[in-house]
Amino acid sequence: MTLTQKLFAPGWYRAALGTVVGFAFGMGLVVAVRALYGWDPVVDWNAIVTVGALIAAPLGYLVGIGCFDYWFRWASGAPTIPEDHSGHGAHSWKDYFRVNTDHKVIGIQYIVTTMFFFIAGGLMAMLMRAELAQPGTQFVDPNTFNGLFSVHASIMIFLFIIPVFAGIANYVIPLMIGAPDMAFPRLNALSFWMLPIGGVMMLASYFAEGGAFATGWTAYAPLSTETPLGQQFFTIGVQFAGASSIATALNFLVTIITMRAPGMTFWRMPLLVWANFTTSLLVVIATPFIAGSQFMVLLDRTLGTQFFDPAANGDVLMYQHVFWFYSHPAVYIMMLPGFGIISEVISTHARKPVFGYRMMAFSLVAIVILGFTVWAHHMFVSGMQSWLRIPMMITTMLIAVPTGIKIFSWLATLWRGVIHLRTPLLFALGFITMFTLGGISGIMLAVVPFDIHVSDTYFIVAHIHYVLFGGSVFTIFAGLYHWFPKMTGRMYDETLGRIHFWMSFIFFNLTFGPMHLVGIDGMPRRVADYAEQFATWNAIISISAFIFGLSFLIFLYNMVTSWRHGPAAPGNPWRAHSIEWQVSSPPPVFNFDEIPTVVGGPYEYGVPGAVHAVFKEKKPAAVPAPAGGGGAPPPTNT
Amino acid sequence: MSTREPVSQDTAKGPPETDPRIAGEKHPVGRMLAIGVFASLIGIAITLLIDWFPTDASGAADQIDTLYDVLLICSVPVFVLVMTIAIYSVVRFRAKPGDMGDGPPIHGNTRLEIVWVTIPFIMVTALAIYGWIVLDDIEAKQQDELVVNVTGQQFTWTFEYPQQNLNSAELVLPLDRPVDFRIKSRDVIHSFWVPEFRLKSDAVPGLTTKIRLTPDRVGNYEVVCAELCGLGHSTMRQFVRVLPADDFDRWARRQAREGGGGAPEGDSGQGGGGGGGAAAQGEEIFTAQGCGSCHTLAAANASGTVGPDLDKLQNTRAAFVRQSIVDPSAEVEQGFPDGVMPTDFGDKLSPEELDALVKYLLESQE
């Protein structure tokens, strides 16, 4: 291809062109409007960055890379290019760097991209712990420090935990329900390609005038309406990450509702499917609220709307209500998919049916509903209407009931199982330990008088990391080890996996455990410097944090070398029942040569001869095994 | 497509009595219960022995500390229960090498599930009611309250005593008298917190929030800003002094005599009387506007390090000092970031006040 052709065909050349054109368009628009109105200065770089670099350039890049080609042709009435499925699947590494509609490729794209952001966020955490190792200012000034914890949290939440779950689900869910792909493969690709925009924007905010956004990931107004330009990299970055998240959730909902294999009733779905179904409900209902809150901040900053300016009858507390109406359910968006992973991992590696399957599904639904009724427990000291605290305390504590059902059911699944203590199960057990602790500190925080004391202290930092790292990230590790053979066709190194687990488990607790104590003892969070009395604990926390950080390198080394040189994985190394394990590793491009028929539950371990799904042979002679087992193991159709 | 191996072998274990892994044990559940109770007792003892809280210096502190103890006593057994079952299962039911069998196909147990719905429900309901009672108690209105208006601003607190008709840069409270704090903010959200009192409330622009408490221990405690409020957030720490009632009255009388307009408490020798009204007014403004939380100025006992050191203004022109206050971005001192200092002092202060402040700053150079 000549360069001209490359510039017109979807891909990186056209993406670069689109970015430049987008920026130039945005800049032109700003300059033209300002010149027209006679405003001074005509060239206002704050406005140009906002309109050109943060809005128009990313859209130009999305068009350039080819996310919209099919739709544009279709919408304009031009003949669409017949789908020859050439955009599907990966034959070389290059296929991961273009708009690809294969859910398995998109799943890997998500996971690898989010891992990059996980590393970036982790390095920021290391830098913060270096600064906090002793009182005073050593490495970074307060402005940079405030930027570090703000970008760290935003990256970890919006660019790692939420999307990595979307990545795992993207890969596994269609296989699990016996579908050839997601319901909307092109929308799926668009969702992925919007994601890195948000992340790059947040990281790039360090180069903005005045430094990175430094108002925490919560970006409370009116601080966020007054801080320098970097804030806009957050308010707009969140829109891209949020749009990506909403589109994916819609895709999951439609896929799960309409594309299940014959016989896959709702009560035969694996719990990971249930988990992503309920998570997607949360995402489509809640995520528009954070988009709204950030748009209001953006409008306050750029157009002077005064939503949050008390001098103009703006309402400061409204920001927090709208923000937390998303951001509390977001905690469950970051937790429910993990619950699903743990159910798969425990029942497979302990070789027992998930205990109380229906209650497990119902408790997910209960958490979704209750999750929308607790947002103001983040605002017990905010000055909101004081009566609101009591109902929010009660609903918050009631969430312990469905969560308890899950923990106890997992324990009952372990009981009398045949436990294969492989890395995924180790992480699942580590998850149960630390999530129980995080849940307990969550109950404590729900009790208003105690929360009044520890709100905005290191106790909160400890709690959130027990829930999001000991909770969510451990389930992510469990899931990645569990499905690694399926995704790559190779086995990971079990010994390295165990070392990774024990190192991260021990040093996670040494890092975040003591934070409960310093928090109760009076150390506020989000501070670049602290009182002398907390010096010893902070030194211990920092040293543990560094070793904890190193443990991630073992994981990375294991994943990279195993992916390249690991021993070939069989189709079903864990002898699991769910459908994704009944195809080769990695699965064929279109998942199934023959759509499976589901004949029983997904976890019928110990039921003699039971299978979850059968693959009809091409010869009409083969009869599917009757429901509830009695038949032979699933026939092969090689 | 690859060959599929059989996934389940027909080796399901039967009822518990026949499970060889626990058949030798008469009462596995009983034994776990004994271990659990023992571990819980040790756990409770350890968690109660840890010195979690700072000194308790208010009436609310005792109640909140007790509440936390109760929460610990309820939490430890829950955690121990989870751990005991998990560890016992892993040790007892771990697969022997080469064991390709499955566990028994137990799909659930309605009675057990009702139990683990009901017990947590009762526990959290009881704790919620207890929490509610404590909350009502610590927020109850008291007789003879001392009213203190607290104002937060980047990056300092100032205090006003409307009943005594005086202002202060320092928070001083009488022992054993209920205080009614009314908290406001001049710019962004702050959070007024004294860990030793255990209570905090955000200072929200446009709102007045409240805390009630009764200090019950004489001492010096830190007033900490707990809500991220910008660059100097971590330096927004001041002191509260709790004095016996007589000493408080003496302090209040002296404070009122010294002008009542916010002259800093202390023996710095910078009384309002001496040098010219302008300098005294300048010092008052310096304190009231919280300049000292970011800047160092020996004459005002200020030692902030967020912004440039104001003891180094020798040979600086008055016009430049004035410009730096009104429009801090015009010329930014090397080594200090732009955009930190509030830009609204030009609006908040009258020209005369600005003159007084500039004069005071220049006269304070030594």
Residue A620, pLDDT > 70, answer: no
CB pairs under 8 A between A and B: 323
Cross-chain CB nearest to A353 (options B83, B89, B106): B106
Supply the pLDDT for residue B4. Answer: 45
Residue B26, pLDDT > 80, answer: no
Model pLDDT for residues A64-99, shown as the tens digit of each residue? 999 998 899 989 998 888 777 777 888 888 889 999
Q: Among B8, B113, B348, which would you mutate to test the A interface (most chain A Cβ atoms within 10 Å of its Cβ)?
A: B8
Please tell me if residue B101 touches chain A, with a CB cutoff of 8 Å: yes
What is the C-alpha to C-alpha distance for residues B32 and A108, in angstroms, rounded to an integer? Answer: 43
Model pLDDT for residues A102-120, shown as the tens digit of each residue? 999 999 999 999 999 999 9
Please tell me if residue B30 touches chain A, with a CB cutoff of 8 Å: no
Taking Cα atoms as reference points, which of A496, A482, A364 lies closest to residue A111?
A482
CB A227 within 8 Å of CB A210 = yes
Cross-chain CB nearest to B53 (options A400, A521, A526): A521
Copy the structure tokens of residue A532: 């002398």
Mean pLDDT value of segment A377-390? 94
Copy the structure tokens of residue B324: 């730096």
Tell me the backbone φ, ψ of residue B316, rounded to 5 degrees.
-100, 135
Please tell me if residue B49 touches chain A, with a CB cutoff of 8 Å: no
Using only C-alpha atoms, chain A has a radius of gyration, in whole angstroms, of 25
Copy the structure tokens of residue B201: 């409330």
Model pLDDT for residues A437-447, shown as the tens digit of each residue? 999 999 999 99
Residue A534, pLDDT > 90, answer: yes
Cross-chain CB nearest to A638 (options B1, B188, B227): B1
Return the H-helix or E-strand segment holding B17: none
* 3-class secondary-structure state, position B158: strand
Residue A214: list chain B partners with CB under 8 A.
230-231
Q: How far is CA A637 from CA A175, A568, A592, A596, in A?
A: 17, 21, 10, 11
Residue A621, pLDDT > 60, answer: no
* DSSP string for A8-56: HSSSHHHHHHHHHHHHHHHHHHHHHHHHHHT-S-SS-HHHHIIIIIIII
CB B228 within 8 Å of CB A216 = yes
* 3-class secondary-structure state, position A76: helix
Report angle CA A287, A291, A296 to the nearest 5 degrees.
145
In which band, very low, low, confident or very high, does the pLDDT at A628 lie, cut at 50, 70 and 90? very low
What is the C-alpha to C-alpha distance for residues A320 and A314, in angstroms, rounded to an integer? Answer: 13
In which band, very low, low, confident or very high, does the pLDDT at A248 lie, cut at 50, 70 and 90? very high
- Residue contact B106–A355, C-beta within 8 A: yes
Q: Are strands B171-174 and A613-614 parallel, antiparallel or unpaired?
A: unpaired
- Measured over the CA atoms of residue B98, residue B104, residue B105 and residue B108, the dihedral's sign is negative
What is the C-alpha to C-alpha distance for residues B365 and B300, in angstroms, rounded to an integer? Answer: 11
Q: How far is CA A538 from CA A534, A583, B14, in A?
A: 6, 50, 53
Q: Are strands B237-243 and B199-203 parallel, antiparallel or unpaired?
A: unpaired
* 3-class secondary-structure state, position B172: strand
Cross-chain CB nearest to A447 (options B16, B131, B209): B131
- Residue contact B204–A570, C-beta within 8 A: no
Mean pLDDT value of segment B167-194? 94
DSSP state of A472: I
Residue A524: list chain B partners with CB under 8 A.
193, 224-226
Mean pLDDT value of segment A197-222? 93
Residue A401: list chain B partners with CB under 8 A.
117, 120-121, 124
- Residue contact B7–A223, C-beta within 8 A: no
- Residue contact A447–B102, C-beta within 8 A: no
**Cβ-Cβ contacts under 8 Å for A415 (sequence gap 6 or more):** A355, B85, B89, B93
Mean pLDDT value of segment A28-41? 93
Rounded to a whole number of angstroms, the distance from the CA of B259 to the nearest CA of chain A is 31
The end-to-end CA distance of chain B, in Å, is 88
| Torsional class of B102: left (φ above 0), alpha (ψ -120 to 50), beta (otherwise) | beta
Give burial (CB, 10 Å; 0-12/13-18/19+) of B185. Answer: buried
What is the C-alpha to C-alpha distance for residues A521 and A313, in angstroms, rounded to an integer? Answer: 38
Supply the pLDDT for residue A632. Answer: 41
- Residue contact A220–B50, C-beta within 8 A: no
Q: Are strands B171-174 and B237-243 parallel, antiparallel or unpaired?
A: parallel
Cross-chain CB nearest to B124 (options A358, A419, A443): A443
Residue A444: list chain B partners with CB under 8 A.
68, 71, 75
Cross-chain CB nearest to A210 (options B124, B235, B339): B339
Please tell me if residue B2 touches chain A, with a CB cutoff of 8 Å: yes
Rounded to a whole number of angstroms, the distance from the CA of B249 to the nearest CA of chain A is 29
Q: Among A137, A154, A345, A411, which would you mutate to test the B interface (most chain B Cβ atoms within 10 Å of its Cβ)?
A: A411
What is the C-alpha to C-alpha distance for residues A170 and A339, in angstroms, rounded to an integer? Answer: 16
Domains and their CATH numbers in chain A: 3-76 (no CATH), 104-285 (no CATH), 362-569 (1.20.210.10)
Residue B272, pLDDT > 70, answer: no
Rounded to a whole number of angstroms, the distance from the CA of A291 to the nearest CA of chain B is 22
Cross-chain CB nearest to B105 (options A456, A570, A607): A607
- Residue contact B206–A636, C-beta within 8 A: no
What is the C-alpha to C-alpha distance for residues B171 and B166, in angstroms, rounded to an integer? Answer: 12
What is the C-alpha to C-alpha distance for residues A218 and A240, in angstroms, rounded to an integer? Answer: 17
Residue A244, pLDDT > 70, answer: yes
Residue A530: list chain B partners with CB under 8 A.
234
Supply the pLDDT for residue B259. Answer: 58
Domains and their CATH numbers in chain B: 16-95 (no CATH), 146-257 (2.60.40.420), 277-363 (1.10.760.10)
What is the C-alpha to C-alpha distance for residues B129 and B118, in angstroms, rounded to an integer? Answer: 17
Supply the pLDDT for residue A467. Answer: 96
Q: What percent of chain A has pLDDT over 70?
A: 97
Rounded to a whole number of angstroms, the distance from the CA of B204 to the nearest CA of chain A is 7
Supply the pLDDT for residue A624. Answer: 46
Q: Other CB atoms closer than 10 Å to residue A587's CB: what's the count? A: 22
Cross-chain CB nearest to B1 (options A352, A421, A593): A593
Model pLDDT for residues A256-314, shown as the tens digit of each residue? 999 999 999 999 999 999 999 999 999 999 999 999 999 999 999 999 899 999 989 99
CB B196 within 8 Å of CB B58 = yes
Q: Are strands B190-194 and B302-303 parallel, antiparallel or unpaired?
A: unpaired
Helices (H), A303-356: 316-333, 336-350
Q: Other CB atoms closer than 10 Å to residue B19's CB: what's the count? A: 16
Q: Among A436, A452, A526, which would you mutate to test the B interface (most chain B Cβ atoms within 10 Å of its Cβ)?
A: A452
The end-to-end CA distance of chain A, in Å, is 40
Q: What percent of chain A has pLDDT over 90?
A: 84
Mean pLDDT value of segment B25-30? 77
- Residue contact A389–B135, C-beta within 8 A: yes
In which band, very low, low, confident or very high, does the pLDDT at A610 lie, cut at 50, 70 and 90? confident
ipTM of predicted complex: 0.90
Please tell me if residue B63 touches chain A, with a CB cutoff of 8 Å: yes
Rounded to a whole number of angstroms, the distance from the CA of A130 to the nearest CA of chain B is 16
Residue B268, pLDDT > 60, answer: no
**Which residue would you say has higher pLDDT here, A14 or B307?**
A14
Residue A357: list chain B partners with CB under 8 A.
107-108
Question: Which residue of chain A comes nearest to B92, CA vs CA?
Answer: A416
Rounded to a whole number of angstroms, the distance from the CA of B28 to the nearest CA of chain A is 11
Q: How many CA atoms lie within 13 A of B278 on its CB side?
A: 13
Taking Cα atoms as reference points, which of B226, B300, B222, B223 lies closest to residue B263?
B300
Residue B301, pLDDT > 90, answer: no
Tell me the backbone φ, ψ of residue A278, rounded to 5 degrees.
-70, -40
Residue A226: list chain B partners with CB under 8 A.
187-188
- Residue contact A356–B12, C-beta within 8 A: no
CB interface of B with A, residues 146-175, below 8 Å: none
Can you give the three-state secondary structure of B251-298, one letter per residue?
A: HHHHHHHCCCECCCCCCCCCCCCCCCHHHHHHHHHHHHCCHHHCCEEH
Model pLDDT for residues A393-417, shown as the tens digit of each residue? 999 999 999 999 999 999 999 999 9
Please tell me if residue B224 touches chain A, with a CB cutoff of 8 Å: yes
Model pLDDT for residues A161-172, shown as the tens digit of each residue? 999 999 999 999
- Residue contact A605–B105, C-beta within 8 A: yes
What is the C-alpha to C-alpha distance for residues B85 and B291, in angstroms, rounded to an integer? Answer: 59
- Residue contact B82–A407, C-beta within 8 A: yes
Model pLDDT for residues A128-144, shown as the tens digit of each residue? 999 999 998 888 888 89
- Residue contact B198–A223, C-beta within 8 A: no
Supply the pLDDT for residue B297. Answer: 86
